[in-house]
């Protein structure tokens, strides 16, 4: 059964300090005693802009309408491994953060086909949160709108 406590959170926080680059601000919180949630609040990269670019490309390829992230927050819990392309600047940081979130004796023996869920704890990753949107601290990005990439503005 999934379980998360403050001791395990402290272990994860120590691992995150080792892998997160300077200039990245984040918070860790325990939800419902079974989930660790990391919220990235500020970074020197335009994460929301990059997410919008990826979403726009996927929408274009599939013939769907593009709906940009305009409120400065995104929940990546369901797609943390696939939200960014491997060539992205953000991808290695998110990958290391995810590995650090799984550092405290994490396991996952779940089997969705038989409705059997057995994991050490659940992981959630958010970029910004309501009502405090993500802040891009890069000097070049501060002079432009960081919520919607220029290619998405038609």
pLDDT at residue number 141:
47
Q: Cα–Cα distance between 133 and 85 in angstroms, integer? A: 23
pLDDT value at 31 more than 90: yes
| Structure tokens given for 25 | 């601000």
pLDDT at residue number 118:
93
pLDDT value at 90 more than 90: yes
pLDDT band of 78, cuts 50, 70, 90: confident
Averaged pLDDT score across all residues of the chain: 90
For β-strands 74-75 and 135-136, DSSP reports them as unpaired
pLDDT tens digits along 100-151: 999 999 999 999 888 899 999 999 999 999 899 999 998 754 455 555 555 5
| Structure tokens given for 35 | 């989930």
Q: Cα–Cα distance between 40 and 93 in angstroms, integer? A: 11
Q: What is the pTM of this model?
A: 0.84
Average the pLDDT over 51-74 and give the result.
Answer: 94
Question: Nearest to residue 71, comparing CAs of 125, 134, 150, 154?
Answer: 134
């Amino acid at each position: 059964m999934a379980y998360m406590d403050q001791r395990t959170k402290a272990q994860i926080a120590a691992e995150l300090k080792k892998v997160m680059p300077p200039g990245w601000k984040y918070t860790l919180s325990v939800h419902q005693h079974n989930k660790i949630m990391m919220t990235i609040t500020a970074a020197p990269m335009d994460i929301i802009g990059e997410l919008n670019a990826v979403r726009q490309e996927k929408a274009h390829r599939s013939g769907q309408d593009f709906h940009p992230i305009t409120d400065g927050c995104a929940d990546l819990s369901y797609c943390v491994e696939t939200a960014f392309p491997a060539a992205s600047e953000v991808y290695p940081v998110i990958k290391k953060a995810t590995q650090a979130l799984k550092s405290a004796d994490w396991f996952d023996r779940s089997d969705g086909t038989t409705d059997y869920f057995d994991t050490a704890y659940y992981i959630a990753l958010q970029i910004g949160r309501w009502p405090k949107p993500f802040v891009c601290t890069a000097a070049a990005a501060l002079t432009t709108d960081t919520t919607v990439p220029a290619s998405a503005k038609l």
